[in-house]
Copies of this chain bind each other. A is one copy, B any other.
Amino acid sequence: MRKLKIAQLVLPWIPIPPPKFAGTEWIVTWLTEELQKKGHEVTLFSVGESKTSAKLDYVYEKSFGLQEDVMTSLKNTFKPLIHVANCFEKADNFDIIHSHAQFHALPLSAISKTPSLHTFHRTFEFEDEDETELLLRYSKLNYSSISNSQRTLDLNFVETVYNGIPLEKFSYQEKKEDYLLWVGRITPKKGPQEAIEVAKAMGKRLVLIGKKTEKDFFEKEIAPHIDGEKILYPGEINQQELSRYYEKAEAFLFPIKWNEPFGLVPVEAMACGTPVVAYKNGAVKETIKDGETGFLVEEKEGVNGLIEAVKKVKEISPEKCRRHVEKNFSVEKMVSDYESLYYKILEKQNKA
């Protein structure tokens, strides 16, 4: 296959690679680096402070940040449009544009003659009516979904390409210690309360890891349970420390109460050989093999359902968990799937 000229387009909120954890930006980091290694000519449209071995193109030197107040004020400006348009103005230089930049990219892509692929690293269940309107108006563009369960809008989904993680950063261990683990942004829909209930009911230790984005919720619902003995909260930690917590956990709890379109953390846990006990919402049906790499519990079965599942986690083979991720959710797999998808779109375009 001939090598391609590929544009990777992200929003200007966060640099590539991201300084802290940021799912989308890591995915794009790995995708960009690997495509470049494979011999494609990649141009990354991001901010000037981004670092990449691909060619970097940008309008704004500094990233705008992801703070709510910045985002709100940015909604009133043309800056995101200016940023995204900079890529499409140069469309003639590329065989394909892969946009991770959501909304503004859609009309620009519809006007451009260069084929494009749109990946939304988020739910399609939008809060704002005009966002749904925009998507449906441009439903015939090429979309890839990050899971089949993400496909809640009737768009032209050409393929599902699952997210991949860099397995070398997640150490595998067969021998587990006696604690449960929960990782995520500390917000009700991610189920930290349920994790606490499970641990307390079973008399087990629980480690909670993640950012307190909602101070009130954290102070009222979570903090009172943290005792440093049974319920531990080591705060925000780095990737290496996180891997340590993953690899020794008896089970990873993912009592998710919304349709998360992918969910990286259970995949990371499995990469470390740790079985996952999850509510059956969103993409877990696709990322977790029920009975093989963890257990899926209907949300209506509640905490008792989770407890019954945790009782059975010894049945799960840590090695099977690791193999499952190696086979289906590695960076290499993701990159090669996107690469195939680019060729598929170009072939379709040439036939059209």
Q: Which residues of A contact B (CB under 8 A)?
A: 59, 75-79, 81-82, 85, 88-89, 91, 103-104, 107-108, 110-113, 128, 130-131, 133-134, 137
A59 / chain B contacts, CB cutoff of 8 Å: 137
Interface contact A103-B78, CB-CB below 8 Å: yes
Chain B nearest Cβ from A196, distance in angstroms:
37
Once bound together, how far apart are the Cα atoms of A326 and B146, in whole Å?
A: 64
Once bound together, how far apart are the Cα atoms of A128 and B78, in whole Å?
A: 10
Chain B nearest Cβ from A58, distance in angstroms:
13
Interface contact B78-A76, CB-CB below 8 Å: no
A-B complex: 10 closest residue pairs judged by Cβ atoms: A85-B107, A77-B130, A78-B134, A78-B130, A88-B111, A111-B111, A89-B110, A75-B76, A111-B112, A79-B130
Interface contact A85-B103, CB-CB below 8 Å: no
Chain B nearest Cβ from A103, distance in angstroms:
6
Once bound together, how far apart are the Cα atoms of A85 and B134, in whole Å?
A: 11
A88 / chain B contacts, CB cutoff of 8 Å: 107, 111
Q: Of B79, B103, B107, which is within 8 A of A89 by CB?
A: B107
Interface contact A104-B76, CB-CB below 8 Å: no
Q: Of B76, B82, B108, B113, which is within 8 A of A108 by CB?
A: B108
Once bound together, how far apart are the Cα atoms of A107 and B89, in whole Å?
A: 8
Q: Is the interface of A mostly helix, strand, loop or mixed?
A: helix
| 10 A-B contacts (beta carbon < 8 Å) | A78-B133, A79-B130, A81-B81, A81-B107, A82-B134, A85-B108, A88-B107, A89-B107, A89-B110, A111-B111
A75 / chain B contacts, CB cutoff of 8 Å: 75-76
- A79's nearest neighbour on chain B, judged by CB, is B130
Interface contact B81-A128, CB-CB below 8 Å: no
Q: Of B82, B91, B104, which is within 8 A of A81 by CB?
A: B104
Chain B nearest Cβ from A142, distance in angstroms:
16
Once bound together, how far apart are the Cα atoms of A137 and B84, in whole Å?
A: 13
Q: Of B82, B89, B128, which is within 8 A of A133 by CB?
A: B82
Interface contact B128-A77, CB-CB below 8 Å: yes
Once bound together, how far apart are the Cα atoms of A128 and B73, in whole Å?
A: 12
Once bound together, how far apart are the Cα atoms of A110 and B88, in whole Å?
A: 9
A110 / chain B contacts, CB cutoff of 8 Å: 85, 89
Once bound together, how far apart are the Cα atoms of A133 and B107, in whole Å?
A: 21
A91 / chain B contacts, CB cutoff of 8 Å: 111
A77 / chain B contacts, CB cutoff of 8 Å: 128, 130
Given contacts A75-B76, A78-B133, contact A111 B89 (CB under 8 A): yes
Most B C-beta atoms less than 10 A away, residue of A59, A79, A85: A85
Once bound together, how far apart are the Cα atoms of A59 and B59, in whole Å?
A: 31
Chain B nearest Cβ from A130, distance in angstroms:
4
A108 / chain B contacts, CB cutoff of 8 Å: 85, 107-108, 111
A103 / chain B contacts, CB cutoff of 8 Å: 78
A131 / chain B contacts, CB cutoff of 8 Å: 78
Once bound together, how far apart are the Cα atoms of A88 and B109, in whole Å?
A: 11
Chain B nearest Cβ from A247, distance in angstroms:
44
A133 / chain B contacts, CB cutoff of 8 Å: 78-79, 82
Most B C-beta atoms less than 10 A away, residue of A59, A107, A110, A134: A107
Chain B nearest Cβ from A12, distance in angstroms:
13
- A113's nearest neighbour on chain B, judged by CB, is B113
Once bound together, how far apart are the Cα atoms of A228 and B58, in whole Å?
A: 62
